[in-house]
């Protein structure tokens, strides 16, 4: 033991002497001198300690593992006989391996080593201990397989709680071992890389199981029969796996089930009415991201405790059954991205007064926005985008004083002027997404009455709106993202854009704007600031914002601050020079000025934009050379100056080694090997020192690919053009 201690603690022997023998006198004054640990237990703990990395180990020993009575050590608990029964060392920064010596602690019943950085495997003797009731090793870096119970084991094991979640475990999950864990109450294997089927014998061996979480692994094949034996099962989660087939009948016999979450698998079949009705205690039903088809059964109305229903991204069709309005506990209703149809106003929402979020986007609903929705006073987020809804937003929507997220994009709604006048009175609104409506109406100069105080994102894209950028927009001091692309707006860019302190994403592409880029743009405070945009707004939206071509939701954002800072002025009639002061906007990740009538040179000051990932200046009348210093834009992934009147050599090296020929075509006087036109010596620009080329695939690139609906490599040479479809 002396050696172990010395090894473990790195202590000098005189110190050991002191701490080992002085305590005899201390023990006399301790409250329960009899409660002193046995030498065997102490040695086992030292073995455990010596398996840990020296840092952690020193901290523990210097901290308190320094007396001979291990019952007094930090994180150690003993019973009245001085036998070690508890090890509770969560989040202590422990590194190294878990020693199987712990299995020598014969009375050990509780082990919590969660939230450390432990590596290696989980010793079989510990996993299948004959004394441990609770074993929590979650949030570590344990790897390898979970071994089966040794075949020689006789009699049952006392295990009640096993939590191995969030580690690097691989291989099949133990299957027959559960036959001997009759007391098992909670089993959590989520967040690993387990493969193979979910064990079928779980419920026959462990009939009192209450919590079962196998989500975020690579489990495959069907969900086995046998869950009907788990009469106490309340929580069953196995989302984000590769499960397939239909839901087994007897899963619906687990009558205690409160939370059933199997999202993002490959499950198929229909939600059969009789079976569904049996889930009478269900609170959460999450089968999103599967291949379910058929209708939502009428019997869903019998699930009166249902609070969270997520069936989004399946192939469900038909009307919303009227019985759904009996689910009066419902808080979150998500049926997005299915093929539901029928008049939405035929469904009466008024009884569902607890609803906080409704997402019915990307379906086939028709008719008007149901008036009854305005009775859902708790509503915080409503998405009805990408349906076939007609009519207008009613003034009653101002009843929804908690409403913070509203997306009605891509419907056939009318009366933008009425809509904005009404919505500005919803004081909590942070997101207003109305793109793809109001065809050919005029962008109004509404009577702004101090509304939209909380507005952070406004999209009126793709509405074919006429008119000019109205002045009331300058009053929206919390605005971060403004998307007016795809309209028929005219006039110049107003000079007040530098008064919006938080605006970092301005999209006005594909309009008829003219004139020069005003100085105000080059002074946009947030784009020019050194302050990270990520600090802007920590609060998540109640529903995510999706960016994509509107019917293939590719990128999902819960926070606006994750969007790339951008100026997108593409495809307008802008004239004049590209102001050199644009080089001040250090935060910019996307600058798209393509398809305009800009003339003059490319300002070398653009080399200040060191965060730039997309720079598109194609299809203008730019002259002069490509500033060689643009080579220093290390994150630049997409670049085009095609179709201008540029001359001289194409810079080489760094990112310029990665751009395709098409980025430079249509400039008769440019030269360089890339476009097969050798430069005469006098114009050649010296080769830069070879720097490593950045090949990271950035958020913006992904966004661009999503926006264009193309895969990587595919968008080069297209008239690259970033557009956000926010739905």
Ligand X SMILES: *[C@@H]1O[C@H](CO)[C@@H](O)[C@H](O)[C@H]1NC(C)=O
Judge contact between 397 and 420, C-beta under 8 A.
no
Contact stretch for ligand X (CB under 6 A) within 147-155, 412-420, 472-480, 575-583: 412-420
Nearest to 139 by CA among 90, 173, 177, 182: 90
Give the burial string for 431-457 (b: 16+ CB within 10 Å, else e): bbbbbbbbeebebbebebeebbeebbb
What is the C-alpha separation between 249 and 234, in angstroms, rounded?
17
Helix (H), strand (E) at residue 417: helix 416-423
> Is residue 66 at the binding interface for ligand X, with CB under 6 A as the rule?
yes
Nearest to 215 by CA among 192, 232, 235: 192
Among 13, 17, 32, 63, binds ligand X (CB under 6 A): 63
> Is residue 395 at the binding interface for ligand X, with CB under 6 A as the rule?
yes
> Is residue 129 at the binding interface for ligand X, with CB under 6 A as the rule?
no
Contact stretch for ligand X (CB under 6 A) within 97-105, 428-436, 469-477, 484-492: 97-105
User: Under rule CB under 6 A, how many of the chain's residues touch ligand X?
Assistant: 41
Judge contact between 96 and 140, C-beta under 8 A.
no
User: Of 260 and 533, which has the nearer Cβ to ligand X?
Assistant: 260
Q: How far is the CB of 647 from ligand X (least distance, A)?
A: 50
User: Of 363 and 611, which has the nearer Cβ to ligand X?
Assistant: 363
Q: How far is the CB of 372 from ligand X (least distance, A)?
A: 5
Judge contact between 560 and 481, C-beta under 8 A.
yes
User: Of 47 and 694, which has the nearer Cβ to ligand X?
Assistant: 47
Among 235, 406, 443, 493, binds ligand X (CB under 6 A): 235
136-155: which residues touch ligand X (CB under 6 A)?
A: 136, 138
Judge contact between 49 and 76, C-beta under 8 A.
no
State the CB neighbour count (10 A cutoff) for residue 409: 28
Among 32, 350, 558, 683, binds ligand X (CB under 6 A): 350
> Is residue 317 at the binding interface for ligand X, with CB under 6 A as the rule?
yes
Q: How many residues does the chain have?
A: 727
Contact stretch for ligand X (CB under 6 A) within 80-88, 158-166, 461-469, 602-610: 158-166
State the CB neighbour count (10 A cutoff) for residue 228: 16
What is the C-alpha separation between 501 and 383, in angstroms, rounded?
28
> Is residue 364 at the binding interface for ligand X, with CB under 6 A as the rule?
yes
User: Of 470 and 624, which has the nearer Cβ to ligand X?
Assistant: 470
698 Cβ partners below 8 Å, 6+ apart? Answer: 589, 613, 635, 637
User: Of 392 and 699, which has the nearer Cβ to ligand X?
Assistant: 392
Nearest to 410 by CA among 343, 360, 450, 454: 360
Among 47, 302, 399, 492, binds ligand X (CB under 6 A): 47
Among 35, 246, 329, 351, binds ligand X (CB under 6 A): 351
Q: How far is the CB of 56 from ligand X (least distance, A)?
A: 16
Nearest to 294 by CA among 338, 349, 260: 338
Q: Rounded to 10 degrees, what is the CA torsion of 290, 292, 295, 300?
A: -70
> Is residue 107 at the binding interface for ligand X, with CB under 6 A as the rule?
no
- Strand 218-222 to 95-97 pairing: unpaired
Q: How far is the CB of 575 from ligand X (least distance, A)?
A: 36
DSSP tag of 363: S
> Is residue 636 at the binding interface for ligand X, with CB under 6 A as the rule?
no
User: Of 268 and 499, which has the nearer Cβ to ligand X?
Assistant: 268
Q: How far is the CB of 461 from ligand X (least distance, A)?
A: 20
Environment class of residue 522 by beta-carbon count within 10 Å: exposed (0-12), middle (13-18) or buried (19+)? buried
User: Of 368 and 717, which has the nearer Cβ to ligand X?
Assistant: 368
Contact stretch for ligand X (CB under 6 A) within 57-65, 486-494, 583-591, 636-644: 57-65
User: Of 47 and 222, which has the nearer Cβ to ligand X?
Assistant: 47
Q: How far is the CB of 212 from ligand X (least distance, A)?
A: 7
Q: How far is the CB of 674 from ligand X (least distance, A)?
A: 44
> Is residue 348 at the binding interface for ligand X, with CB under 6 A as the rule?
yes
Among 372, 474, 661, 662, binds ligand X (CB under 6 A): 372
Q: How far is the CB of 215 from ligand X (least distance, A)?
A: 8
> Is residue 700 at the binding interface for ligand X, with CB under 6 A as the rule?
no
Among 53, 104, 119, 131, binds ligand X (CB under 6 A): 104
Environment class of residue 711 by beta-carbon count within 10 Å: exposed (0-12), middle (13-18) or buried (19+)? exposed
> Is residue 549 at the binding interface for ligand X, with CB under 6 A as the rule?
no
What is the C-alpha separation between 229 and 208, in angstroms, rounded?
9
> Is residue 50 at the binding interface for ligand X, with CB under 6 A as the rule?
no
Q: How far is the CB of 455 from ligand X (least distance, A)?
A: 19
The dihedral of CA 91, 94, 96, 98: what is its sign? negative
User: Of 126 and 473, which has the nearer Cβ to ligand X?
Assistant: 126
User: Of 62 and 693, which has the nearer Cβ to ligand X?
Assistant: 62
What is the C-alpha separation between 651 and 672, in angstroms, rounded?
8
Q: How far is the CB of 177 from ligand X (least distance, A)?
A: 18
Q: How many helices (H) and strands (E) does the chain have?
A: 10, 45
> Is residue 101 at the binding interface for ligand X, with CB under 6 A as the rule?
yes
Q: How far is the CB of 264 from ligand X (least distance, A)?
A: 16
What is the C-alpha separation between 526 and 513, in angstroms, rounded?
23
Radius of gyration of the chain (CA): 32
- Strand 76-78 to 84-88 pairing: antiparallel
Give residue number: closest CB to ligand X: 418
> Is residue 679 at the binding interface for ligand X, with CB under 6 A as the rule?
no
What is the C-alpha separation between 220 and 196, in angstroms, rounded?
5
> Is residue 290 at the binding interface for ligand X, with CB under 6 A as the rule?
no
Contact stretch for ligand X (CB under 6 A) within 62-70, 193-201, 603-611, 617-625: 62-70
Q: How far is the CB of 165 from ligand X (least distance, A)?
A: 4
Judge contact between 416 and 440, C-beta under 8 A.
no
User: Of 62 and 534, which has the nearer Cβ to ligand X?
Assistant: 62
> Is residue 121 at the binding interface for ligand X, with CB under 6 A as the rule?
no
287 Cβ partners below 8 Å, 6+ apart? Answer: 260, 262, 263, 267, 271, 310, 311, 314
> Is residue 254 at the binding interface for ligand X, with CB under 6 A as the rule?
no
Nearest to 458 by CA among 478, 419, 431: 431
Q: How far is the CB of 395 from ligand X (least distance, A)?
A: 6
User: Of 163 and 663, which has the nearer Cβ to ligand X?
Assistant: 163
Judge contact between 404 and 378, C-beta under 8 A.
no
**CA angle, 631 as apex, 628 and 636 as ends, to 5°?**
135
Contact stretch for ligand X (CB under 6 A) within 98-106, 271-279, 303-311, 633-641: 98-106
Half-sphere exposure of 703 (CA within 13 A, CB side): 25
User: Of 422 and 707, which has the nearer Cβ to ligand X?
Assistant: 422
160-219: which residues touch ligand X (CB under 6 A)?
A: 161, 163, 165-166, 186, 188, 190, 211, 213
Which residue's structure tokens are 């009227």? 322
User: Of 417 and 499, which has the nearer Cβ to ligand X?
Assistant: 417
Quote the tokens at residue 258: 């409160």
> Is residue 62 at the binding interface for ligand X, with CB under 6 A as the rule?
yes
> Is residue 100 at the binding interface for ligand X, with CB under 6 A as the rule?
yes
Binding residues for ligand X, rule: CB under 6 A, are 19, 40, 44, 47, 62-64, 66, 100-101, 104, 114, 136, 138, 161, 163, 165-166, 186, 188, 190, 211, 213, 235, 237, 315, 317, 339, 341, 348, 350-351, 364, 372, 392, 395, 415, 417-418, 421-422
């Amino acid at each position: 033991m002396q050696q172990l201690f010395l090894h473990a603690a790195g202590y000098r022997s005189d110190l050991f002497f002191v701490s080992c023998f002085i305590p005899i006198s201390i023990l006399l004054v301790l409250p329960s001198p009899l409660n002193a640990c046995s030498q065997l237990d102490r040695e086992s703990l030292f073995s455990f300690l010596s398996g840990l990395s020296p840092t952690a180990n020193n901290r523990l020993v210097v901290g308190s593992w320094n007396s001979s009575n291990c019952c007094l050590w930090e994180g150690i608990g003993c019973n009245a006989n001085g036998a070690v029964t508890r090890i509770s060392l969560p989040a202590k920064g422990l590194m190294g391996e878990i020693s199987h010596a712990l299995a020598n602690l014969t009375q050990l019943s509780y082990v919590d080593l969660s939230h450390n950085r432990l590596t290696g495997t989980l010793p079989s003797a510990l996993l299948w201990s004959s004394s441990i009731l609770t074993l929590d090793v979650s949030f570590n870096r344990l790897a390898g397989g979970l071994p089966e119970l040794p075949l020689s084991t006789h009699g049952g094991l006392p295990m009640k709680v096993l939590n191995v979640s969030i580690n690097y475990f691989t291989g099949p999950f133990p299957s027959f071992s559960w036959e001997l864990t009759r007391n098992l109450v909670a089993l959590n294997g989520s967040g690993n890389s387990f493969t193979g089927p979910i064990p079928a014998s779980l419920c026959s061996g462990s009939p009192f199981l209450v919590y079962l979480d196998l989500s975020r692994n690579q489990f495959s094949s069907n969900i086995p029969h046998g869950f009907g034996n788990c009469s106490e099962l309340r929580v069953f989660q196995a989302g984000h796996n590769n499960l397939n087939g239909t839901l087994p009948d007897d899963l619906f016999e687990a009558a205690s089930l409160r939370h059933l979450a199997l999202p993002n698998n490959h499950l198929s079949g229909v939600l059969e009415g009789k079976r569904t009705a049996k889930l009478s205690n269900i609170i959460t039903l999450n089968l999103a991201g599967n291949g379910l088809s058929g209708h939502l059964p009428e019997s869903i109305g019998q699930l009166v405790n249902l609070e969270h229903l997520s069936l989004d991204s399946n192939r469900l069709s038909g009307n919303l059954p009227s019985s759904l309005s009996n689910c009066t506990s419902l808080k979150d209703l998500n049926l997005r991205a299915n093929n539901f149809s029928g008049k939405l106003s035929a469904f009466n929402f008024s009884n569902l007064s607890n609803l906080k979020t409704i997402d019915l986007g990307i379906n086939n609903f028709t008719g008007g926005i149901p008036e009854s929705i305005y009775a859902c006073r708790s509503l915080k987020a409503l998405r009805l985008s990408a349906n076939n809804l007609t009519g207008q937003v009613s003034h009653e929507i101002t009843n929804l004083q908690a409403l913070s997220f509203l997306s009605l994009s891509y419907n056939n709604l009318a009366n933008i002027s009425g809509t904005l006048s009404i919505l500005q009175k919803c004081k909590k609104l942070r997101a207003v997404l109305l793109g793809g409506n109001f065809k050919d109406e005029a962008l109004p100069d509404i009577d702004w009455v101090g509304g939209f105080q909380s507005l952070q994102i406004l999209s009126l894209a793709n509405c074919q709106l006429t008119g000019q950028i109205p002045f009331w927009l300058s009053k929206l001091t919390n605005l971060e993202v403004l998307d007016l692309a795809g309209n028929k707006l005219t006039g110049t860019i107003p000079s007040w854009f530098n008064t919006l302190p938080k605006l970092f994403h301005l999209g006005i592409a594909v309009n008829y704007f003219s004139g020069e880029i005003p100085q105000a743009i080059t002074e946009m405070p947030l784009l020019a600031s050194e302050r990270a945009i990520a600090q802007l707004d920590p609060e998540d939206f109640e529903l995510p914002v999706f960016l994509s071509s509107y019917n293939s939701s590719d990128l999902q954002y819960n926070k606006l601050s994750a969007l790339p800072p951008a100026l997108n002025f593409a495809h307008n009639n802008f004239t004049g020079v590209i102001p050199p002061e644009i080089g001040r906007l250090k935060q910019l990740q996307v600058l798209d000025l393509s398809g305009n009538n800009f003339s003059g040179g490319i300002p070398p000051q653009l080399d200040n934009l060191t965060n730039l990932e997309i720079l598109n200046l194609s299809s203008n009348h730019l002259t002069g050379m490509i500033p060689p210093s643009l080579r220093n834009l290390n994150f630049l992934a997409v670049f085009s100056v095609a179709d201008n009147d540029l001359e001289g050599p194409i810079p080489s090296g760094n990112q310029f080694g990665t751009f395709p020929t098409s980025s430079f075509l249509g400039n008769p006087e440019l030269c360089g090997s890339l476009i097969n036109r050798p430069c005469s010596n006098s114009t050649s620009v010296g080769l830069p020192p070879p720097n490593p080329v950045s090949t990271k695939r950035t958020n913006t690139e992904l966004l661009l690919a999503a926006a264009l609906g193309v895969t990587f490599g595919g968008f080069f040479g297209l008239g690259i053009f970033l557009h956000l479809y926010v739905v």
